[in-house]
Amino acid sequence: MLQESVLIEKNEEVGPGLYYLRLKTQDMAEQAHPGQFIHISLGTIYDPLLRRPMSILNAQEDSLSVLYQVVGRGTKIMTRFRPGDFIDVLGPLGRGFDLEDSKKHLLIGGGVGAAPLVFLAHQLKRKGGEIKFFLGMREEELIFIKELLPPGVEFYSSHENSPRGEAKQVTDLLPPHLEQENKTSLYCCGPEGMYREIAKICAECGEFSVQVSIDRRMGCGVGTCLGCAVKIKKPPREELQIVRACVEGPVFRWQEVGFNDS
């Protein structure tokens, strides 16, 4: 974990209320792993008080990027970050995705939450295996994500508000790709309802490795405040444990967290 004052290289609107922020930081970029996050100081000392946790969209050489949606005061303040400014960043934090030794990797993202799967696609590419990227969006607002993927990744998208007869939910796209004979791994990032739906479809098709990234309100981001508690049950003992999304997560195995009520 590092705490650094980092240079803002880019902060631009890439969709309605959707921003791409790129930071220059070689050390954090080198340490970063897909599924991890950084904790960004807004530069306001008293109010808003807390840092903002942001999933890492990608890390390349000496830069690290995030994608954020303006949802409240904090993200509104972030839109005013200008290239050339410095911001205080803590990271990389948390436990990311395990890169599985599979012949086939299915990356499934719902909305802006899909961001860390971009970084994951780049890392999996080095490892080998077939990579398919599934993105669920309302209309076409996240289509630029396709351009951020490495070459050779198959891209599929669903459109909730599509007037045409296409898939409306990202989970509608999955069944033909879930073949049991190939060892297939799933990596999911989005709302928890989407994970539930994915788990249901998987259960009908066989056994798969399913990893999900869990979203919680965070305070410290490093494991001391215990604000982002997640209940897990680890096989084989299935003993209930309370862990921290910011340290033991945010990525968990679905079989560990799936028992929780929605």
Partner 1 sequence: MTPKLNTKIGSLNLENPLLTASGTYGNGREYSDLVDLKSWGGLVTKGLTLEPRSGNKGVRIVETPAGILNSIGLQNPGIEYFVREEIPFLEKQEIPVIVNIAGRRIRDYEELTRRLDPFPCISAFEVNVSCPNVREGGLAFGTNPGLVYEITSRLREVTQKPLIIKLTPNVADVGAIAIQAEKAGADAVSLINTLMGMEIDIETCRPLLGNTVGGLSGPAVKPVALRMVYQVYRQVKIPIIGMGGITKGEDAVAFLLAGARAIALGTVNFVNPKAPLEIKEFIFDYMKRHNFSSLENMVGVAHQEKEA
Binding positions for partner 1, rule: CB under 8 A: 1-3, 41, 45-51, 88, 90, 217-229, 240, 242, 247
Complex with partner 1: residue 90 or 186, whichever CB lies closer: 90
Cβ of residue 231: shortest distance to partner 1, in angstroms? 8
Cβ of residue 83: shortest distance to partner 1, in angstroms? 24
**126: CB partners within 8 A, 6+ apart:** none
Complex with partner 1: residue 92 or 111, whichever CB lies closer: 92
Integer-rounded Cα Rg, in Å, for the chain is 18
Cβ of residue 48: shortest distance to partner 1, in angstroms? 6
Helix (H, G, I), strand (E, B) or coil at 255: helix
The answer to whether 117 touches 109, Cβ cutoff 8 Å, is: yes
Cβ of residue 46: shortest distance to partner 1, in angstroms? 4
Angle, CA 189 vertex, CA 183 and CA 190 arms, to 5°: 135
Complex with partner 1: residue 57 or 89, whichever CB lies closer: 89
Complex with partner 1: residue 201 or 247, whichever CB lies closer: 247
Amino acid at 12: E
> 37 φ, ψ to 5°?
-135, 165
Cβ of residue 223: shortest distance to partner 1, in angstroms? 5
Complex with partner 1: residue 80 or 231, whichever CB lies closer: 231
The answer to whether 170 touches 194, Cβ cutoff 8 Å, is: yes
The answer to whether 145 touches 134, Cβ cutoff 8 Å, is: no
